[in-house]
Structure formats: structure tokens, C-alpha cells
């Protein structure tokens, strides 16, 4: 498969007065052209930090990528200068942030904001950019695009603002689109429209999509693969059908069991007892062990490696071929 993005052993740490926060601690994945990878997990699992690391947007005053490799279209992003990264961001790699009202500038029209991307990265004139803006708004299904380009963010609904963010992200036909909680705070009707739009754009443009979410329903709707993060580690990774049909890691099973069943006569919501460990004080063994019903003595002292089990990758000692992760 033509790999757009390859991440190997990614470690992103934050250095604070409270200590070293190991937000992402050895993450591996690859994403092919025209494929969607859903990255799920609780708040604090490392989902957004992984995406910011790929974009090289981690605030250097407190955080650093301390290990691993990020290759985009065969080239190392970690070897790029900041000037080279600015030429890539918004051009070959685009990102949709979770809150469009704070991502869009309130004092500039929609047309000016999308047009700036086109003029910067595509070298278009103002007239060319204006025409392209209208085309992009049509592409993402915004009605009356000729009128909307002259409006300000506060004049649009939440769903329309999110569509504007998608239009801006797609302005330069990126090879990789990172969507960080793209349907948060949207009602279910608009959410369904945005997800359908993302599927259509992926099929039409061949864009690889990295979808960051805590919503497994969203993953089931649009993703080809799913990667489950817990406390900065990948605990399970495989095809969506495999993970949903036969989840193997206790954490993944807990997440799936917590989804409400509308067909159940008496609904009992499953919960995962306990809390995610502090990024400043990770347990010595498996990071999920303190919350796991199946934890063994080995789990409390050793970190399991991510190994291929029953067709997808799992990090758990419950399976006979599981091995310990190497130190470092």
C-alpha cells in the first residue's frame, strides 16, 4: 500500500514543574492513501498530542518529541526546518480543530480566511482565490456560497463553521487530513452530514484521514482502521470490523461495553472502574492493570509488548504469545 504517513516509536514528553509528563510514549502506526485511521481513547490518552506531534505543533517551551520517527510521503518530518514545516502545514498536511468558533478569526470574512491559504500555498491572485473559495464552499455543501464568502464566522451556524474549516483544510488538496474531534458540540443531524462529507471527500480526492475522537460510533461510521490509546500507549490496533467484532484488550472491551444499546429492554451501562493514571506517575507494569479485572501479578511489574494476535495488534499478557516490552 502507498503509505502517506508512518510513525514509529513516537515519544512526546512535556517538562513541567510537576515533573515529566509522558503524554505519548512509543506510538507506532502507518496510514495509506485514501484510508481513514480512527484514534480513540479517554481524555488524556495522548490522541491530540499525537496529532500535534505529526504537525510539529508541540509547544517547544514545555514539550519535545524525544524519540521516534515521523515520515510523511517518505520524508522525515523531524528533520524539517520550521520554514519547511510551514510550507507543508495547511498545504500537504491539513488539520481540522475541534472548535471552529475559536479556530476561525472573528474579524475576517470566510472568503478572506480561505483565500489567504490559497494565496500563501498555491500562489493564487486575489481574484483566483475568490473564485476557488466559492467552489470549495460548494464542495462542502454550504448553500449560497457566493453570499457566505462575504460573511463573518458569527453569522454562520456551528455546522456551517465546521464545513468552512473542512473547506479550508481541503483548499490545497492535502495528502493527509487530521481531524481532531470534528463533530464535537454538533447536533446528531449535522454530525451525520459532516461524517458523510468526510467519506465523500476521501473517496473523491484520495486523502488519507487521521480521525481523533472518543466516540466509537463515529469510528464505526467512517474509519477503516482503529487504534486504541491508553495512557500514551497503543493497546490495540486493527481493522474496524475486527476490533468491533472481537476486541481483545480489556480496555477496548470496556469501551465497547459502555456504548448504550437502544434495542435492550433493560439498559445497563457498563463502566470501567478507576481513573487513567497520572502522566507524571505511570504504574511500573501495564498501565491499565490498576483498572483491569483480569490483572495478574506479571501485569503489575512488566509492560506487555504490542504483538500480533488473531489478526490485529494487542498489548496484553492474557494471550499466550504476549511478550514483555523492551526497556527504553
**Residue burial 107-134, b: 16+ Cβ < 10 Å; e: rest:** eebbbbbbbbbbebbeebeeeebbebbb
Task: Give the pLDDT of residue 253.
Answer: 93
Q: Is the Cα dihedral 209, 213, 216, 221 positive or negative?
A: negative
How far is CA 235 from each of CA 79, 243, 322, rounded to the nearest angstrom?
28, 12, 12
Task: Give the pLDDT of residue 285.
Answer: 92
Task: Give the pLDDT of residue 266.
Answer: 61
Q: Is the pTM of this model over 0.85?
A: yes
Asked if 110 and 152 count as a contact pair (C-beta separation under 8 A), the reply is yes
Task: Give the pLDDT of residue 327.
Answer: 56
CB-side neighbour CA atoms (13 Å) of 120? 15
Residue 321 per-residue DSSP state: T
180, three cell numbers? 481532531
Residue matched to cell numbers 483548499: 171
Asked if 170 and 177 count as a contact pair (C-beta separation under 8 A), the reply is yes
Summarize pLDDT for 32-51 with one digit per residue, the tens.
Answer: 999 999 999 988 899 999 99
Asked if 98 and 180 count as a contact pair (C-beta separation under 8 A), the reply is yes
Kindly list the structural domains of the chain, giving each domain's residue range(s) and its CATH number in brackets, ordered by start. Answer: 3-92+172-314 (3.40.50.300), 102-171 (no CATH)
Q: Is the Cα dihedral 313, 314, 319, 320 positive or negative?
A: positive
How far is CA 76 from each of CA 72, 79, 169, rounded to the nearest angstrom?
6, 6, 22
Q: What angle do CA 179, 92, 218 make, to 5 degrees?
A: 15
Task: Give the pLDDT of residue 291.
Answer: 94
Residues of the chain short of pLDDT 50, as ranges, are: none
**Residue burial 140-174, b: 16+ Cβ < 10 Å; e: rest:** bbbeebeebbeeebeebeebbbbbbbbbbbbbbeb
Amino acid at each position: 500500500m502507498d503509505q502517506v504517513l508512518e510513525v514509529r516509536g513516537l515519544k512526546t514528553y512535556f517538562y513541567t514543574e510537576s515533573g515529566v509528563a509522558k503524554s505519548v510514549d512509543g506510538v507506532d502506526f502507518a496510514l495509506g492513501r485514501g484510508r481513514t485511521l480512527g484514534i480513540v481513547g479517554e481524555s488524556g490518552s495522548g490522541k491530540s498530542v499525537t496529532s500535534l506531534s505529526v504537525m510539529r505543533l508541540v509547544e517547544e517551551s514545555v514539550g519535545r518529541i524525544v524519540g521516534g520517527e515521523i515520515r510523511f510521503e517518505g520524508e522525515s518530518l523531524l528533520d524539517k526546518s520550521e520554514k519547511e514545516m510551514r510550507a507543508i502545514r495547511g498545504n500537504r498536511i491539513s488539520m481540522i480543530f475541534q472548535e471552529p468558533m475559536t479556530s476561525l478569526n472573528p474579524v475576517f470574512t470566510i472568503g478572506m480566511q480561505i483565500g489567504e491559504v490559497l494565496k500563501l500555498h498555491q500562489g493564487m491572485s486575489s481574484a483566483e482565490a475568490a473564485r476557488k473559495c466559492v467552489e470549495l464552499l460548494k464542495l462542502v455543501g454550504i448553500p449560497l456560497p457566493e453570499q457566505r464568502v462575504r460573511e463573518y464566522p458569527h453569522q454562520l451556524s456551528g455546522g456551517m463553521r465546521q464545513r468552512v474549516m473542512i473547506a479550508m483544510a481541503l483548499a490545497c488538496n492535502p495528502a493527509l487530513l487530521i481531524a481532531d474531534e470534528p463533530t464535537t458540540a454538533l447536533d446528531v443531524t449535522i454530525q451525520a452530514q459532516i461524517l458523510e462529507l468526510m467519506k465523500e471527500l476521501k473517496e473523491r480526492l484520495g486523502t488519507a484521514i487521521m480521525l481523533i475522537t472518543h466516540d466509537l460510533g463515529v469510528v464505526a461510521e467512517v474509519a477503516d482502521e482503529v487504534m486504541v490509546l491508553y495512557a500514551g500507549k497503543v493497546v490495540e490496533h486493527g481493522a474496524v470490523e475486527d476490533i468491533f467484532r472481537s476486541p481483545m484488550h480489556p480496555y477496548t472491551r470496556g469501551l465497547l461495553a459502555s456504548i448504550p444499546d437502544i434495542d435492550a429492554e433493560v439498559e445497563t451501562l457498563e463502566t470501567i472502574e478507576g481513573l487513567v493514571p497520572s502522566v507524571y506517575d505511570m504504574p511500573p507494569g501495564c498501565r491499565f492493570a490498576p483498572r483491569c479485572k483480569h490483572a495478574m501479578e506479571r501485569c503489575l511489574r512488566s509492560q506487555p509488548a504490542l504483538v500480533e494476535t488473531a489478526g490485529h495488534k494487542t498489548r496484553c499478557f492474557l494471550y499466550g504469545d504476549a511478550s514483555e516490552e523492551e526497556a527504553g
